[in-house]
Structure 1
Amino acid sequence: MVNKDTVDYSLYLVTDSTKVILGDQDLVEVVEKAVKGGVTIVQYRDKVSETRDLIQTAKRLHEVTQAYNIPLLINDRVDVALAVGCEGVHIGQDDIDISSARRILGNNAIIGVTASSTEEALAAAEAGANYLGIGTVFATPTKENTKSIIGTAGVRSILGALSSLQTPPKTVCIGGINEDNVQRVLYQSVSINPPKSLDGIAVVSAIVSALDPEAAAKQLRSLIRTPPPFAIQVKKHKLMIEADENHVRLDLTFKPIVTELIKKLVDTNPICHNMTNTVVQNLAANVALAIGASPIMSLNPAEVPSLSHLASSLLLNLGTLTPSLLPIYTTALATYNRTGAPTILDPVGCGATPFRRSAVQHLLTHGYPTLIKGNASEILAVASIAGTDNLPEGATQRGVDNTASLPPEAKARVVKSLARTLRCLVLMTGSSDVLSDGHIVFSISNGNALLGEFTGSGCALGTAVAAVLAVGREDALMAVLAGVLVYEIAAQRAVAGGKVKGPGTFVPAWLDELYAIREETKAGEMGWVDNAWVEVWGEGRGWVMPWSVVSTLPIA
């Protein structure tokens, strides 16, 4: 007998008997194969059959689920559940209320409720729902009356609201979940503070429409239990700091971390796959070569599968994106996600046009970037698309130019919030670059103003960072920091040489300094990193020690 308090919701199958989904298969046979493959709970959903037929099919399904000791729930129809004697029902917002269903079915019944908002979720929890079906996550043809598509950001928001409850109900998400996105959905849906994750995923066509439902269920089960290969790794380093009442400066005891990563880059010579805009391909390739990487500048979709195994990182730069290129970028991102190689999304000008905003939303829906890199206007646009809370107002974008002017604290909050929302790294470039993993924030004040005086310097930074990430995926945050530092310290050294008169003389001098740093690192000379200026922004209103929220210092 199934105990409603110990149900495993990890792989929840919702049936569909329509011709377009089920085809010519027998539903009961499909469900039995799926249960053999690892489905842990089944919901029988049929909106069109007569009551008599519903009961007959439900009884056959119940025989299957009872044999494997898993629950069978009936969608909407309390009368059918009662007639069959199965374990419970799932009800929508427009169906019978929870208290009435509980009164009819008794205290031992499992009652699940659909929730598409925090208000619906909290109301259902208060009314005594055993679990919530959260969604719709992605657009899907199996449900016609979806109130809204909430994405992983909506799921995370609901989980965050539920985490405040003393005994929150179990949760599954539903809507377009399949083997291509299940790990990303589970990973990005986690509510961080306080932590709460989904208890499972609900699928329909991913199993019901599969040629082999048992194999499809086994694959989903395996993916649910396995950490995603693309998940960022952030080591916890004990970095010393110098502090006064106004700010904190990192002690250069972090120097070995940065220099070790750059030495690994020089020794490894990783291949970096650049899908970048046509304006800066030459510059980006030269930057990669100068610091010790091997760039491949390819937009050819036929090469993506091979390169995803050959290359060590992928840069997607949207500078000259077209409708025909978007599917190629989408496929590349998903392919690299499967290999676990780091991916960098540079959403160039994404706040400038509806097409660019739509393209970024599409890519974030269908893939996971290890790092999102952009100027303040671009990062604000991405944060808005991702559903990040409490964004500052008034930021606009003209072309690819940055017209957002934000104080340091606002930059730190936006970058940290977006990183936490998408569970990735975020780098906001500017006079001071701001980098976060969602927990702490680095502010990097190196570089030179001439980096902003020629086309493509920001795009080329993406290439430099991709190169270091390629060898530093086990310490992703510090790898991005190292990439920014080598890029910008080279710019400082170029100007300090005294021969730079403007952008035209700056670029070759800067490339020379990138090369010089590479050669110095190869020779074991690490003094170049002594010029680094990095500050740390943490929890609360002040500067704090990295990886610690214990003590804060006031900001004057």
Structure 2
Amino acid sequence: MQNAPHTKLPVRDVSAIIARMKDQVDYTLYLVTDSTEAILGSRDLVEVVEQALLGGVTVVQYRDKTSDTGALIATAKALHEKCKKHNIPLLINDRVDVALAVGCEGVHLGQDDMNLTEARKLLGRDKIIGATVSSIEEARVAVERGADYLGIGTLYATSTKKNTKDIIGVNGIRRILRYLHTSDDEAARKMKTVCIGGVNALNVQRVTYQLHAPSDHSSPPKSIDGVAVVSAIVGAKDVEQAAANLKTLLCTPPTFIHFSPSTNNNEDWTSLSHLHTTSLALTKAVDSASPLSHNMTNLVVQNFAASVALAIGASPIMSNNGAEAADLARLNGALVINMGTATPDALKNHALAIAAYNAAGRPVVLDPVGAGATSARKEALSFLLASGYFSVIKGNEREILAVAQASGLAVASSEHAAQQQQRGVDSGPASYTLPQRAHMVQRLARRERTVVLMTGATDLLSDGTRTYALSNGHAYLGMVTGSGCTLGTTISAYLAAAPGDPFMAAAAAVLHFEIAAEDAGRSEGVRGPGTFVPGFVDALYARRKAIVEGHLEEGAERLKVEVLREVKDVGILREA
């Protein structure tokens, strides 16, 4: 029988097949090896990689900057055999010659390695070539030269990457993703990406969640396709378990996210009657649960905050010791991080506590007190934002603007930028109109995928989709030290009692707090700020008891709330 004649495919068909094959590569859990004694120890690298493959890594990059060529080829061949058994691509860091000798699936090139164009000529179209980038310009060049994926970083400083000039953080990666997403070049829009630098089991869900940050309302953002991990797998005692745990975390929703506003299609939130009914139900929930409110705050307000927590029915603990946080996080409460005392030791303890509460899936409130006042406080704020996820971020106008800037947004008006300089913890008069402030909180809430509360004579609350302007309250609140801090305590109790919808929980907390302030301000014994404090604590308690016991004599008419169905982009905040 005569063999059928060989039919040569057209070049365009071959290119399409190669493109499809490359598109099918799963970058979810990308392992970068490390052969140094500090990370690998005395273990055999090939055995370690095999355990990682069993745990679920989806790409392996062999990285070894010190061994000679013969040893590199021998190890790469052994690694390739293991990878082929699991149908996982093996890439070689830097060394195109080693990749050619081994016949593996491709290479990964850094900025100081071989030019990507030359590497493509040597390797051919069917091999995978990745490129390390840390700026928009480097990303543009890599796309132009035909990279198949980008390794974007460095995210955080690590034992293998200590050069701080390469640390671009979440904001730097967001900028590159946004550039790719909005590019006119189709190759850029379709480009696969992984982030690298300090990713581990404690932060992997937060990193991937925060990198999926919308930059506007027009379309879903371009998200990261995977994370590159080194020591969190190679340096683990149980490599297979470490890889399996990371894979599970990457494939499941974050433990700290209880609600997604994008999936909330009902319009109940626009009804003040519904808001009133919900807020009363949540007050009863706090009373019933008596949730833990763990406050990491300054000594000035600890007593006041504890009194407020008790008055609303919560159980306060004032502990600035981060070592206690893991145990406290298991008690179904919530954490308040207050930047009133932003010392290096305090920040270390804050980071420990944030990680513990995030890991336990419990709410965390950030109160960035005085965040815009000094360069040290701005650095402290950036450190905290990089340390974990916050369910609610609460602050006055200047503090929220400082958070927006730390998040990678810029104030469009130089005149307003000058006005926003903060001197102390007092809020000061508003520099922006209500529509401008509404835009700020909505934009920042979308950016950080959280709930943002900007306090003032009228509070603005948003989860990026739903936005309220709340005008209850009393002028005495602005004349009392720690009133803003105690609002954070109140919010934490409501979040802990009803974590399913942080936006509505925060709204209910604000209403309890500020309507009680109105009651206290007009009570007979209150003559000024000094007599207001005890009267306020009494009013918080009295309001709770009236709601719980069912004899509250008021309805939705008491709520001074404006529902902002449409918040216009007035151009105050833009991408930095």
Indicate whether the TM-score tops 0.5: yes
Alpha-carbon deviation of 1:455? Answer: 0.7
- CA gap of 1:234–1:520, structure 2 versus 1, over 3 A, is farther
- CA gap of 1:361–1:191, structure 2 versus 1, over 3 A, is closer
User: Counterparts of 2:26 and 2:80 in 1: how far apart (Å)?
Assistant: 17
Q: 222, 240, 265: which one pairs with 1:196?
A: 222
Alpha-carbon deviation of 1:388? Answer: 2.0
- Name the aligned partner's letter for residue 238 of structure 1: E
- Name the aligned partner's letter for residue 409 of structure 2: T
- Greater CA deviation, 306-315 or 463-472? 306-315
- Greater CA deviation, 154-163 or 493-502? 493-502
Equivalent residue, structure 1, for 2:562: 535
Asked if the contact 1:370–1:424 (Cα under 8 Å) also holds between the matched residues in 2, the reply is: yes
User: Counterparts of 2:137 and 2:411 in 1: how far apart (Å)?
Assistant: 19
Equivalent residue, structure 2, for 1:277: 298
Residue 364 in 1 paired to residue 385 in 2?
A: yes
Q: 178, 197, 220: which one pairs with 1:175?
A: 197
Alpha-carbon deviation of 1:232? Answer: 4.3
Alpha-carbon deviation of 1:324? Answer: 2.4
Instruction: Please give the residue correspondences for 1:451-466 in structure 2 after superposition, counting only pairs within 5 Å.
Output: 451-466=477-492
Alpha-carbon deviation of 1:311? Answer: 4.3
Residue 469 in 1 paired to residue 495 in 2?
A: yes
- CA gap of 1:410–1:361, structure 2 versus 1, over 3 A, is same
Give CA-to-partner distance per residue, 1:293-344, whole Å, 9 cap, x none: 1112222444322211114111111213433222222111110111111011
Asked if the contact 2:323–2:353 (Cα under 8 Å) also holds between the matched residues in 1, the reply is: no
- CA gap of 1:492–1:386, structure 2 versus 1, over 3 A, is same
User: Counterparts of 2:54 and 2:256 in 1: how far apart (Å)?
Assistant: 29
User: Counterparts of 2:63 and 2:141 in 1: how far apart (Å)?
Assistant: 23
Asked if the contact 1:433–1:443 (Cα under 8 Å) also holds between the matched residues in 2, the reply is: yes
User: Counterparts of 2:516 and 2:125 in 1: how far apart (Å)?
Assistant: 69
Asked if the contact 1:240–1:253 (Cα under 8 Å) also holds between the matched residues in 2, the reply is: yes
Equivalent residue, structure 1, for 2:267: 238
Equivalent residue, structure 2, for 1:148: 166
- CA gap of 1:484–1:540, structure 2 versus 1, over 3 A, is closer
SS at match of 2:500: helix
Asked if the contact 2:90–2:104 (Cα under 8 Å) also holds between the matched residues in 1, the reply is: yes
- CA gap of 1:284–1:146, structure 2 versus 1, over 3 A, is closer
- CA gap of 1:538–1:175, structure 2 versus 1, over 3 A, is farther
Give CA-to-partner distance per residue, 1:437-468, whole Å, 9 cap, x none: 12333221111111011111111111111111
SS at match of 1:434: strand
Q: 120, 126, 129: which one pairs with 2:138?
A: 120
Asked if the contact 1:160–1:194 (Cα under 8 Å) also holds between the matched residues in 2, the reply is: no
Aligned length: 535
User: Counterparts of 2:448 and 2:269 in 1: how far apart (Å)?
Assistant: 29
Asked if the contact 1:13–1:42 (Cα under 8 Å) also holds between the matched residues in 2, the reply is: yes
User: Counterparts of 1:436 and 1:151 in 2: how far apart (Å)?
Assistant: 25
User: Counterparts of 1:542 and 1:173 in 2: how far apart (Å)?
Assistant: 30
User: Counterparts of 1:287 and 1:304 in 2: how far apart (Å)?
Assistant: 21
- Name the aligned partner's letter for residue 256 of structure 1: T
User: Counterparts of 1:363 and 1:487 in 2: how far apart (Å)?
Assistant: 26
Relative to the length of structure 2, the TM-score reads 0.88
Asked if the contact 1:234–1:477 (Cα under 8 Å) also holds between the matched residues in 2, the reply is: no
SS at match of 1:3: helix
User: Counterparts of 1:218 and 1:47 in 2: how far apart (Å)?
Assistant: 27
- Name the aligned partner's letter for residue 193 of structure 2: T
User: Counterparts of 2:258 and 2:372 in 1: how far apart (Å)?
Assistant: 26
Give CA-to-partner distance per residue, 1:331-369, whole Å, 9 cap, x none: 111101111110111111122233322222222222211
- Name the aligned partner's letter for residue 75 of structure 2: T
- Name the aligned partner's letter for residue 187 of structure 1: Y
Alpha-carbon deviation of 1:486? Answer: 0.9
Equivalent residue, structure 1, for 2:532: 506
Alpha-carbon deviation of 1:497? Answer: 3.5
- Greater CA deviation, 126-135 or 80-89? 126-135
- Greater CA deviation, 196-205 or 142-151? 142-151
Equivalent residue, structure 1, for 2:10: none
SS at match of 2:277: helix
Q: 29, 36, 47: which one pairs with 1:29?
A: 47
- Name the aligned partner's letter for residue 341 of structure 2: T
Equivalent residue, structure 1, for 2:289: 268
- CA gap of 1:76–1:145, structure 2 versus 1, over 3 A, is farther
Residue 434 in 1 paired to residue 455 in 2?
A: no
- Greater CA deviation, 39-48 or 141-150? 141-150
Equivalent residue, structure 1, for 2:309: 288
Alpha-carbon deviation of 1:376? Answer: 1.4
Asked if the contact 1:157–1:191 (Cα under 8 Å) also holds between the matched residues in 2, the reply is: no
Asked if the contact 1:125–1:168 (Cα under 8 Å) also holds between the matched residues in 2, the reply is: no
Alpha-carbon deviation of 1:433? Answer: 1.1
Residue 158 in 1 paired to residue 176 in 2?
A: yes
Alpha-carbon deviation of 1:158? Answer: 2.0
Asked if the contact 2:445–2:462 (Cα under 8 Å) also holds between the matched residues in 1, the reply is: yes
- CA gap of 1:147–1:302, structure 2 versus 1, over 3 A, is closer
Give CA-to-partner distance per residue, 1:41-62, whole Å, 9 cap, x none: 1111122222222222211111
- CA gap of 1:334–1:80, structure 2 versus 1, over 3 A, is same
Residue 340 in 1 paired to residue 366 in 2?
A: no
SS at match of 1:196: coil
Equivalent residue, structure 1, for 2:207: 185
Equivalent residue, structure 2, for 1:50: 68
Alpha-carbon deviation of 1:283? Answer: 1.1
User: Counterparts of 1:51 and 1:156 in 2: how far apart (Å)?
Assistant: 37
Asked if the contact 2:276–2:555 (Cα under 8 Å) also holds between the matched residues in 1, the reply is: no
User: Counterparts of 1:362 and 1:181 in 2: how far apart (Å)?
Assistant: 14
- CA gap of 1:217–1:265, structure 2 versus 1, over 3 A, is same
Alpha-carbon deviation of 1:144? Answer: 5.2
Instruction: Please give the residue correspondences for 1:509-528 in structure 2 after superposition, counting only pairs within 5 Å.
Output: 509-525=535-551, 527=554
User: Counterparts of 2:86 and 2:509 in 1: how far apart (Å)?
Assistant: 53
SS at match of 2:330: helix
User: Counterparts of 1:207 and 1:388 in 2: how far apart (Å)?
Assistant: 34
Alpha-carbon deviation of 1:107? Answer: 1.6
Give unpaired runs (5+ residues) of structure 1.
242-249, 544-556
SS at match of 1:428: strand
Relative to the length of structure 1, the TM-score reads 0.91
SS at match of 2:154: coil
Equivalent residue, structure 1, for 2:14: none
- Greater CA deviation, 176-185 or 346-355? 346-355
Give unpaired runs (5+ residues) of structure 2.
1-17, 571-576
Alpha-carbon deviation of 1:6? Answer: 0.8
- Name the aligned partner's letter for residue 175 of structure 1: G
- Note the aligned Cα RMSD (angstroms): 2.2
